[in-house]
Amino acid sequence: MIRNFALRLDLDTLEAIEKWAADEFRSVNGQIQWILDQALKKSGRLKSK
């Protein structure tokens, strides 16, 4: 299930994510999803698929 929600980011953070996403050929949304997924797995809050 996918849910939509608003996310507020300061300009420096957004620009850093945009650059990172472009470097890895992802959309900004895809990059944020990847970052969150990695952090959740690392903390043990989400099991690897």
Convert the pLDDT of each residue in 21-40 to its tens digit. Answer: 999 999 999 999 999 999 99
Angstrom CA distances, 4 to 19, 27, 30, 43, stand at: 23, 16, 13, 24
- Whole-model pTM: value is 0.86
Instruction: Give yes or no for residue 48 having a pLDDT over 80.
Output: no
Residue 4 and residue 31: Cα distance in Å, rounded? 16
pLDDT of residue 18: 98
Residue 24 and residue 1: Cα distance in Å, rounded? 25
How many C-alpha atoms does 35 have within 13 Å on its Cβ side? 14
Rg over alpha carbons for the chain, rounded to the nearest Å, is: 12
pLDDT of residue 49: 62
